[in-house]
Amino acid sequence: MKTLILQHDDCLRHDPGRRHAESSARVTSVLNGIGGLPGIEILPAPVATVEQLRRVHAPEYWERLVELEPPREAGENQVALDPDTFLSTGSIDATLRASGAACFAIDQVIAGNAKNAFCATRPPGHHADAKVAMGFCLLNHAAVAARHAQSAHGVGRVAILDFDVHHGNGTQSIFENSQDVLYISSHQMPLYPGTGYGSETGSGNILNLPLAPGAGGKEFRAAWSSSGLPALERFRPEIIIISAGFDAHVRDPLAQLELQDEDYGWITEQICACATADCGGRVVSVLEGGYDLDALASASAAHVSALTK
């Protein structure tokens, strides 16, 4: 079986502004980085359904986003939801494809039609909570996928593993009282959004692994080896979802961690080994951050290469 890659050109239409770090070039870089890899199959991402979204997001929140999207004939193409997060013409289609990709990936992996999957989509999702868009994020794709696995496929325990350089405050908020979902995040601290302290444990299902500015692969691997991976093994997930942010890379301009491509390959191999042992290898990965285009291409290639092994 192959590693499934989900993408769609609608994800290129979300436009937060010419100078914004979260540009459509990010997806192009990822696809260029992974396009020649053996063992992958690229398919178009479908649109998420309202039912899938409402398992996580409040109906009034989603309806308000749809209302705020600028119409195609509008002269001004961006609506600011906060200083960093924007809606443009095409944003709704883009974020629906991203959540739809994650849900479709769940379907295909559980059905045994793919070894695992990576969703090369945007905008990212892990800062969005049930009722608030923030941090470039409109919908929380990993959260939507987790609830889809449980509601549509009867999965009991879902693990969401997040190695983006920023803490996934939205994912933590959504699941902090849900003992059927384990959330583990390594991230730089201090850094936006200011959450992710080790003392934040939810109902015993949240594990934060904060890393100091300047930390590199040694510290990253130690945190996951000593705490993150053992917690994952104890949880015995039935499926694993990865919030795959590549902005902890040494070349990324938005933070100060110093990971290399091989660190992303290593953590992916470790996660896949746990998945093989506990849940039949079921892994679905969703693109989050990563804002140096060359680093994004090479780090995502290391990630996908590890998925295909």
pLDDT at 72: 76
159, 185 Cβ separation under 8 angstroms: no
Is 80 exceeded by the pLDDT of residue 44? Answer: yes
pLDDT tens digits along 88-136: 999 999 999 999 999 999 999 999 999 999 999 999 999 999 999 999 9
Confidence band of 74 (pLDDT split at 50, 70, 90)? low
The encoded tokens of residue 184 equal 């583990």
| CB atoms near residue 223 (< 10 Å) | 20
Cis peptide before 123 (omega within 30 of 0): yes
Q: Which domain holds residue 70?
A: 3-308
Which domain CATH number covers 189? 3.40.800.20
Confidence band of 76 (pLDDT split at 50, 70, 90)? low
Confidence band of 77 (pLDDT split at 50, 70, 90)? confident
Confidence band of 22 (pLDDT split at 50, 70, 90)? very high
Average pLDDT, integer, range 260-286: 98
Confidence band of 75 (pLDDT split at 50, 70, 90)? low
Annotated active-site residue in 8, 126, 127, 141: 127
The continuous run of DSSP H or E covering 65 comes out as helix 59-68
pLDDT at 41: 98
Nearest CA to 255 among 163, 183, 173? Answer: 163
CA dihedral 156, 162, 284, 119 (to 10 degrees): 140
Average pLDDT, integer, range 50-70: 97
Average pLDDT, integer, range 282-289: 98
More confident: 34 or 18: 34
| Mean pLDDT of the residues in the chain | 97
254, 186 Cβ separation under 8 angstroms: no
Our answer to whether residue 249 is catalytic in this structure is no
199, 211 Cβ separation under 8 angstroms: no
Q: Give the C-alpha separation, 184 to 181, whole Å.
A: 10
37, 308 Cβ separation under 8 angstroms: yes
pLDDT tens digits along 183-231: 999 999 999 999 999 999 999 999 999 999 999 999 999 999 999 999 9
How much is the pTM? 0.97
Domain count, the chain: 1
Average pLDDT, integer, range 224-239: 98
